[in-house]
Amino acid sequence: MLVRLASTALAAALVSAPAASIESGSELLNRMTHSHRELNYRAIVTYQLGEQLSSYRITHTVHDGKEFEALESLDGDHQDLVHHGHDINCVHPGPQLIRLFNAEEEQGFYRYYDVDIVGEDRVAGRDAVTLSIKPRDVYRLGYKLSLDNETGLLLRSDIVNQQGKVLERFQYAMLDLNIPDDELLVEGAIEVEHKDVSLDNPATTQLRVWRPDWIPAGFTPLKDTDDGSAAISYTDGLAVMSVFVEPLVTADSGAVAVTEGGMRRGASVSYTVAFPDNGMFATVVGEVPMLTAKQVAKSLSWDQR
């Protein structure tokens, strides 16, 4: 009797496991981080913030090993954003944190999040698999991601706070994978400068005389060659936060009125702290809980010169 019970339970467990489990959560996540850069596609995406809904057309092509992408707003004021010529082989640290490890190793990204396949879904007329990504500490947000079964493209993304409330949602309404790769080779498009972002190196660290004394475990610094002395960004693979530092008094605009405090919009928050002794103020911006932005901003210290 006991044996039969056990085998029934086992059968039930096997049946309830989702069909997509041939691929593990970490394999799916890994596919997500590079598929959106490698494929040619056009999509209509909605972006929802509370009551507010806006829609965009996204076009992405790869031509001669370079990425071309455009984001066009479809309602309100007409706005276009074009990225041209990003090298497809250019590697960024965020995806690396996901790519180099898998969930079983409990390393990198997987030390800080629990990744589970929660089921199947249908988004933009395509079959998708849904992942639940829950933070293990209070310093990150949670994610519910639906990925296209065929390509791994992120079709729907909910960013969820620690209390389980959805802060913002991206959702594809239409996806077309059959577009020519020279679709975006338009005359006169403005080329958005690609900033070389790679792992921090000692050269720029020396330029910077300030640093946060605390960042949550698992966040890796990115280097930005343009303004290494005024900003630094960190990522844990999904969340990114940036620290900006500016003088309280400038030659052209005089004293800047800075009030300590936070600001929130969707999943993005900022927290500003003034450091009058150093004549500077710092703002932490990112898709992180307010607590994280606040603690990082307050932890800034300056080198003694």
Partner 1 sequence: MNDTVRESLSALMDGEASELELRRILSADEKAIRTEWADLHRSQELLKNESNPFIGWDISSRVMAEIADDELVNSGGTGWKQAVSGLAIAASVAAVVVIGSMGGNMFGGSPQMVAENNGVSGRVYPAQASAAVGGVAVSAQAQASPAGPLLNNDAEARKRFEAYLRKHTDRAAFNNGQGMVSYARVVSQESE
d(CA 32, CA 128): 12
What CA–CA distance (Å, rounded) separates 130 from 140? 20
Part of the chain binding partner 1 (CB under 8 A), chosen from 67-75, 100-108, 119-127, 173-181:
67-75
- Nearest to 147, CA basis, from 37, 16, 25, 287: 25
**Positive/negative CA dihedral, 256, 257, 262, 268:** negative
For residue 197, report the phi and psi dihedrals to the nearest 5 degrees. -110, 115
Binding flag, residue 146, partner 1 (CB under 8 A): no
Residue 207 burial (10 A CB sphere; 0-12, 13-18, 19+): exposed
Q: How far is the CB of 153 from partner 1 (least distance, A)?
A: 10
Q: Which of 63, 92, 111, 211 binds partner 1 (CB under 8 A)?
A: 92
Instruction: Round to whole Å and give the CA distance between 105 and 98.
Output: 12
Q: Does 170 bind partner 1 (CB under 8 A)?
A: yes
Residue 263 C-beta: closest distance to partner 1, Å: 5
Other CB atoms within a 10 A radius of the CB of residue 86 amount to 15
CB of 1 to partner 1, least distance (A): 31
The interface region with partner 1, picked from 19-27, 174-182, 183-191, 283-291 by CB under 8 A, is 283-291
The answer to the question of residue 263 lying near partner 1 (CB under 8 A) is yes
286 touches partner 1 (CB under 8 A): yes
Does residue 177 interact with partner 1 by CB under 8 A?
A: no
- Token output for 257: 């009125």
User: What x-and-dash track marks residues 182-211 binding partner 1 by CB under 8 A?
Assistant: -------------x-x--------------
Q: Which of 201, 253, 18 is nearest to 93 (CA)?
A: 201
Min CB(235)–partner 1 separation in Å: 4
Is residue 261 a contact point for partner 1 (CB under 8 A)?
Answer: yes
The answer to whether 24 contacts partner 1 (rule: CB under 8 A) is no
Query: With CB under 8 A, what is the number of residues at the site for partner 1?
Result: 74
One of 73, 118, 181, 248 touching partner 1 (CB under 8 A): 73
